[in-house]
Structure 1
């Protein structure tokens, strides 16, 4: 029981600093660009479909998950193709990219370069030839119907995705307090004001988490001690615990009061800088909830089955890159952050497995798609695994540096 509690508190602290700080900063950056150009970038993407997989891969290539997260709602509303979604997910290395960039930059250049090329080629191949998406679509359909948030339904992925391509996201002024509140929340002006205050406090905490996260990487990803003090370790602990707690409040309560009740959407424009920050906070809060769930599932799974990844990787041979690709089926960043640490710190994972994992893993970008259309998310994560296995095995056999410790400082 004590071990289970330690895992819960540890995940509650680490998830926000290791993941959400970087995700929030990236989403805010893209949201501010969207605010500055007032929807012209989205229109350009819609009018230039041939460029979409390339743009999707470029979004995914940005460290962290924020760029790829932006692509998911664009697909849901019918702005970009399914090949673009796969390209964005295949190119992203999630928040594990920060660890590899900091501790093994040469390996990062090669691994993420291969991921980018694979993502572009595979994204275009899906859009042009389909590559059997229809059959996978039918198989997933037999498992269960698409899961939506009630806003609109989606059709077959093979038929082009969303059935409402011209869906217009509501203006940030359309929220009517009390009308759309879930049954467990009262219509309260006090809670509305408190939610705005917590939203502002959340950004202050996120700034601290981002500073702690950068320091964490600069120190070689060593786990900080637990303390409440005016130190780096104290900042890591306070920002982590407070940030996750505030994120859960914003996702389950606050977003229903301050005008951003729908998450997993992308807007063409924002009415003000404040609403831009507000939108980025709500998206990041949603990702944080899913991230903590992913951390807990991974940590409890490791504790229950007592797996020794280091020993398995050392004796796996060509199965190592295949295992790295299959690990990418796990959504979120928790497992992949550990995987990156095994490569860059412990030198326990070969470069071929790192490359396969970089292509296959979807980071936190899959969560918005899972929250709105589970069927499309399942198909997308299956399709990012295919090039991961091909490239990973190819690197194992033909790349002269595909051994342990390549590029580690």
Structure 2
């Protein structure tokens, strides 16, 4: 009787976990798409493309990035602020332009500790692209570097203008506060994925580079071509499943932002957590595109061509959403050639990435006003670039 009760309890607990963890809906939908003959072919291709065109390059870029960032000292904004306001704003913008959300969270946290001005918050949130920067740098590095330069420039101007019209301590909380994420501490799924990635990364990178040179893989024979597609789709599905099992996935934040690893995490752990997060949202974007085109007959390229004047506005509106997930969707649409550079740039300036979560928690007024202030240059830049045909 006790055994039957325990079995029922375990079954009920598993059902609750599946129901509560909204991340699991993505791998479930992928498995359903693979099971249906009408969608199987484009699902396999979308998964393979996501892995070889995005995941592999993102993982390689992250390895290089985290290796270099460990050797760069973090300066205190309070010191720069005492020296010169423009130095503080400039450094805050550079921190924001760094890929990921770490730099922006540093500035937001120092603002709540009364060590940084409100202008620096506006500057860093304006300059940041969040995890979408990894995606852009990995797939279109020149566009990524250009967007970082644009972000820093717009961030410096915005921060200086704000500090000109506001006191530096405007919207600061009355008491100094701090922000810390609950550590994830390497869930079992992530630990299991480490040897898989160690084995697969280098050969996958070689295949990805060959694909990136527009080489027709059919010249190597249909068996090899289909084998590569199948391997890429399996790795992408594996990555999405690991992402889904690496968090409770019960809240909006847990869906749209990366997890907080144990402190200090190993480089490989951080690389895999970020790669899994980016891959999941890219796969979701690829699948949304394939379903709309192949099953519903929607031509997104034609729609955005016909209503091109709305693209920057829509991109800015999506940028207002907290978290990096929605911004990765916009970046994916740009990489696929569906939206123009002007819309991508407008979203990059508008979006605040994961840094908006601690800002909302610790200084909600500052978060709201900084988001409003970053929207203005985003619209100006987006429609300025659109006017020049970009």
TM-score tier, shorter chain, comes to: 0.5 to 0.7
Whole-angstrom distance in 2 between the partners of 1:338 and 1:372: 28
- Establish whether residue 48 from structure 1 lines up as the match of residue 83 from structure 2: no
Aligned residue in 1 for 2:102: 70
Any idea what the Cα deviations from partners look like across 1:385-407, whole Å, max 9, x if unmatched?
4323212322344x4xx26xxxx
Alpha carbons of structure 1 residues 252 and 211: separation in structure 2 relative to 1, 3 Å? farther
Distance 1:304 1:382, change over 3 A: farther
Q: CA deviation at 1:45?
A: 4.8
**1:76-225 equivalences in 2 (<5 Å):** 77-78=109-110, 81-83=120-122, 84-89=124-129, 95-96=135-136, 98-101=138-141, 113-126=149-162, 129=165, 159-160=171-172, 165-166=177-178, 196-219=191-214
Query: 2:9 maps to which residue?
Result: none
**Do residues 241 (structure 1) and 249 (structure 2) align?**
no
Distance 1:14 1:370, change over 3 A: farther
Question: Matched residue of 2:337: which SS?
Answer: helix
Give the conservation status (yes or no) of the 8 Å contact 2:50–2:236.
yes
The count of corresponding residues between Structure 1 and Structure 2 is: 325
Is the contact made by 1:91 and 1:119 (CA closer than 8 Å) also made in structure 2? no
1:281 is matched with which residue?
Answer: 272
Report the equivalent of 2:335. 340
Distance 2:223 2:92 in 1: 41
Query: How far is the alpha carbon of 1:358 from its aligned partner?
Result: 2.0
1:359 matched to 2:312: no
Partner of 1:144 in structure 2? none
Q: 2:380 aligns with which of 367, 386, 390?
A: 390
Q: Larger % of helix: which?
A: 2
Tell me: CA distance 1:332–1:167, structure 2 relative to 1, closer, same or farther (3 Å): closer
- In the alignment, the residues of structure 1 paired with residue 371 and residue 209 of structure 2 have an alpha-carbon distance, to the nearest angstrom, of 29
Equivalent position SS for 1:68: coil
Equivalent-residue separation in structure 2 for 1:13 and 1:231 (angstroms): 11
CA-CA distance at 1:112 after TM superposition: 6.0
Instruction: Find the aligned partners of 2:88 and 2:289 in 1 and give their Cα distance.
Output: 33
TM-aligned CA deviation for residue 367 of structure 1: 4.9
Report the equivalent of 1:311: 302
Q: Deviations for 1:102-159, whole angstroms, at most 9, x for unmatched residues?
A: xxx6x7776665444223322444455469xxxxxxxxxxxxxxxxxxxxxxxxx973
- Bigger relative contact order (CA 8 A; separation at least 6): 1
Match for residue 21 of structure 1?
Answer: 56
Task: Provide the rounded CA distance (Å) in 1 between the counterparts of 2:63 and 2:174.
Answer: 26
For each residue in 1:298-351, what CA deviation from the matched residue of structure 2 results, as whole angstroms up to 9, or x when unmatched? 6667778754333334334644544554565671423432333326xxxxx6xx
SS of 1:117's equivalent?
helix
Checking the alignment, whether the CA contact within 8 Å between 2:109 and 2:179 is kept in structure 1 is yes
**What is the root-mean-square deviation in Å for CA atoms of aligned residues?**
5.3
Distance 1:78 1:165, change over 3 A: farther
